[in-house]
Amino acid sequence: MRAQVLTLLEKYEERILGQNTNLRLLLSAVLSGGHVLLEGVPGTGKTQMVRTLADLLGGSFRRIQFTPDLLPSDITGSMIYNMKEGTFETLKGPVFTNILLADEINRTPAKTQAALLEAMEEQQVTIQGNTFPLPDIFFVVATQNPIEFEGTYPLPEAQQDRFLFKLKIDFPSFAEEKSVLKQVLEKSFDTSLVTPVLDMEAFLTIRKEIQRVTIGDGVLDYIMQIVRKTRETESIRFGASTRAAISIGKACQAWAYLAGRDYVTPDDIKIVAKPSLRHRIQLAPHVEMEGAAVDQIIEELVGSVPVPR
């Protein structure tokens, strides 16, 4: 099964240029059952990144464009009256899918954003008092624009904590960006050419294999020391929760699996710590005033924790 995943990753990197680390992190999050928040300026390929992954995985895919007038029922679904039958019917919303792209999630009010909370955490949806389970494979990839704040609604901390990773999408290099331009102009970039590498049954089998990747006791201590350090340092106002430690543990299992190993190393922790923590901690006011970045503080914090042998 690992060979199939590596084939998927290879095809993924061929389609999306200049984002190899983010692609591997996104795939790691999906394989470990987590949700991902993508942050980047418009035009950096965030939507294409998610759509291509959905095509390669072979699962059902739905996209919701979040707007200020979007209602919770537009996401989860509603009850409608069938005049012909004289009964009420449940009309399920786009959340009933394998891969859900929540595009520009910060453009909709908190009430609508919260409609995703139950789905992301409990993998179920309640419509008019009736609870409906979501598919066994369900994950949300949400995007947001970091440079435009007019008419936006910042995600509450409670909802940000539901995301396994927050990935920052940067511009590719000159050569990679030129290749993208050339592909589009020559019309060689055709989404219809993407064929599935996996099916949902194989995906579930791979997820079980990842859960068997070994995390030694020393590595578990390393994860806990990093998370607890976020609560003790003066640079951070609010530290990470236990959910953050769980997220790091699950993510590093998937990262190790993609690297061809059945055990986790401290280097795996260092790689996944930043995307796992950057949306879960708040810097102290004096640190923000000094212009320090969250990623910089996380790097310093992880570097200060002794690495287990």
Predicted confidence at residue 149, as pLDDT, reads 65
pLDDT tens digits, 95-108:
999 999 999 998 88
Q: Is the pLDDT of residue 172 over 90?
A: no
φ, ψ of residue 21 to 5 degrees: the values are -65, -45
Predicted confidence at residue 189, as pLDDT, reads 60
Distance CA 12, CA 24 (A): 9
Tokens read off for 73: 């029922």
Average pLDDT over residues 274-297: 89
Q: What's the predicted TM-score (pTM) here?
A: 0.89
Predicted confidence at residue 191, as pLDDT, reads 58
Closest CA to 14 of 51, 52, 63: 52
pLDDT tens digits, 189-243:
665 567 888 888 888 899 999 999 999 999 999 999 999 999 998 889 888 999 9
| Percent of the chain whose predicted confidence (pLDDT) is above 70 | 96
Distance CA 139, CA 97 (A): 9
- Give the least confident one: 56-65, 84-93, 181-190, 231-240: 181-190
Predicted confidence at residue 193, as pLDDT, reads 65
Q: Is the pLDDT of residue 291 over 90?
A: no
Kindly indicate the confidence band of residue 273, based on its pLDDT and cuts at 50, 70 and 90.
very high
Q: Which residue has the higher pLDDT, 151 or 30?
A: 30
Closest CA to 276 of 298, 293, 253: 298
29, burial (CB in 10 Å: exposed 0-12, middle 13-18, buried 19+): buried
φ, ψ of residue 289 to 5 degrees: the values are -65, -30
pLDDT tens digits, 16-53:
888 889 999 999 999 998 999 999 888 888 888 898 99
Q: Is the pLDDT of residue 85 over 90?
A: no
- Positive or negative, the CA dihedral 241, 135, 26, 185 is negative
